[in-house]
A and B are shown apart, each in its own frame.
Chain A
């Protein structure tokens, strides 16, 4: 059963087409992350699902109900915003119960639900305080609680952690994941942070220009990116790209002829193409054994990051980065032998940029 279904959704602001013919099915209890750079339409899509924006064309279903024309409060969704959006003049309790009072729920049940949400989120001591007297993390918890008390089918998160500092963000990220395990509601989460996306998501939808570039599990998106944009967007530092030509089991780039035996082609294995190699998939030392692609490269720049070291070099006449162990003894102007496993690499068609 699908929890949320979006059918050929269009949204235009005047002449600007923000969403174009967008289809998306979200499973029951799934944690789906909408990921993309700013202006890709991810927040717009979330606002459409919430009913805060009127769509130009298409349909939205939540729990098999057509909600396209329904008010936000009728859709069975709860939303958590980036700026927390807590009502400043109400106490935490007032914030949590506001939606329930609007739904004319009996007092006793309101109290019970508020108490339950406060217990789950561990904000019981804060109930009588005003939002102004809370820290950022506490505010965001209250904001989640506001969605929680309403017992909704779908949680919508609009970049909920962007306003927090790095440490708190990491903590709350884990808390949101725990919350999802505990509640097993459907959650749709908008972010531009790929770490949040990779750690939280059951599936990630990577968006660009109002369209979904790839919808898949984090592992699939990382290991087998569907196109060059996704490959470039995911991963930090990002993937190395080498331009060249494919022909019968070999890839010619910058004067090098690389043996790519073992690459699982899905498309035609000939023509102009781009080879993508993640910096962390480049082998050195003992791991070189048996790899068909090997080369000696000169180290140009070293960026030690503690847990690992990023090495900048030139391979096949093009700039190339790879990641080594943090304790690796490597200096500028050293020569080092690297190897690439074609099975872990990606090929993209040069014209269409789709995976081959």
Chain B
């Protein structure tokens, strides 16, 4: 208490805060409403997918299921009919995986080498190549659909899985190259010079120095490509055949099939199943994603 004698009257210590200030009410209120608005469709989908058809016909889409049933999920995965096949979304899922894996690997591999070469091995005309690639980012891809059909036909890849892989790799390249180029530009030049003095060549520096440093941006590129390619509908429907349609196209075919009753619960389950892959990716790598975006953004 000796201390108190030296203090004057008036405020002392931390400034008191009011929990229920006007500012807080408005802030949390607005955010809650927005979050609710955004989450509601997901809630309806999940709830509907767990109901039986009789319950759905009662009409209250917001009501939680009285009797939880997983039958719509099973049906959506392995029994729903698209055209002549009645093996559900499972076929589309595996098709999508077969398209996704090589497309992601190939596009990232090509784009990272591009970005590395454009940022660290400035050769005559490198700016021109970069500009051409950048124009690619801004061209609406609709205008290229038909030329690519012809190109793939001439290559003998039209309607095949590898044709679609090629298309995804090409269309992913401009943006990914930009991403990697900016990231590698932020890697100090002296590091690159030191590696050259140490006798490492183009590929030695790429694999031993640059790539191990590029983990954050690799994760960003992977997320962009996995979600982009998985969610792709247009290229899938145009450049492949019904037997190898990706999951998104198949989902559309299930939901839009006109025969019989509309099975809303099966449709909802099928939609959720299709969205599961990007969702999982976000959950696993969300933190890394933000870090990578920031890493690329700070020194762009």
Q: Footprint of B on A, CB under 8 Å?
A: 47, 50-52, 71-73, 77-79, 81-83, 85-89, 98-99, 102-103, 146, 150, 158
Q: Is B197 an interface residue (CB 8 A)?
A: yes
Prevailing SS type, chain B contact patch: helix
Question: Which residues from chain A contact B195 at a C-beta distance below 8 Å?
Answer: 87, 98
User: Which B residues are CB-close (under 8 A) to A158?
Assistant: 190
Q: Evaluate contact between A88 and B213: CB separation under 8 angstroms.
A: yes
Determine the interface band of chain B, counting residues with CB < 8 A from chain A.
10 to 19
- In the complex, B132 has a CB within 8 A of chain A: no
Q: Which of B188, B190, B191, B196 has the most CB of A within 10 A?
A: B190
Asked whether, in the complex, the Cβ of A99 is within 8 Å of the Cβ of B197, the reply is yes
Residues in chain B near residue A51, CB distance under 8 A: 196
Q: How many A-B residue pairs have CB under 8 A?
A: 60
| Residues in A neighbouring B208, C-beta threshold 8 A | 87, 98
Let me know if B198 and A98 touch, CB within 8 A.
yes
Closest chain-B Cβ to A70's Cβ sits at a distance in Å of: 12
Query: How near does chain B come to A262, taking the closest CB pair, in angstroms?
Result: 50
Known pairs A89-B212, A89-B213; A81 contacts B193 (CB<8 A): yes
The CA of A51 and the CA of B200, in the complex, are separated in Å by 14
Q: Are A85 and B198 in contact (CB under 8 A)?
A: no
Which residues of chain B are within 8 angstroms of A87 by Cβ–Cβ distance? 191, 194-195, 208-209
Q: A162 CB to closest chain B CB, in angstroms?
A: 12
The distance in angstroms between the C-alpha atoms of A35 and B24, with both chains bound, is 61
Partner of A52, one of B188, B196, B199, B212: B196
Structural contact, B199 and A102, CB atoms closer than 8 A: yes
CA distance A111 to B209 in the complex (A): 21
Determine the distance from Cα of A34 to Cα of B208 in the docked complex, in whole angstroms.
Answer: 33
- Measured CA separation A52–B193 after assembly (Å): 7
The minimal Cβ–Cβ distance linking B181 to chain A, given in whole angstroms, is 20
By beta carbon, the residue of chain B nearest A104 is B199
If A83-B188, A85-B190, A89-B213 touch, does A73 touch B204 (CB 8 Å cutoff)?
Answer: no
In whole Å, how far is A49's beta carbon from the nearest beta carbon of chain B? 11
- Minimal Cβ-Cβ distance residue in A for B199: A73
Q: Which of B188, B197, B199, B209 contacts A50 (CB under 8 A)?
A: B197
Among residues of B, the one whose C-beta sits closest to the C-beta of A80 is B194
Q: Nearest Cβ distance between residue B47 and chain A, in whole angstroms?
A: 48
Contacts of B200 in A (CB 8 A): 73, 98, 102
User: Can you name 28 A-B pairs with beta carbons within 8 Å?
Assistant: A50-B193, A52-B196, A71-B199, A72-B193, A72-B196, A73-B196, A73-B199, A77-B197, A78-B197, A79-B194, A81-B190, A81-B193, A81-B194, A82-B190, A83-B188, A83-B190, A83-B191, A85-B191, A85-B194, A86-B194, A87-B191, A87-B194, A88-B213, A89-B213, A99-B199, A102-B199, A146-B194, A150-B198
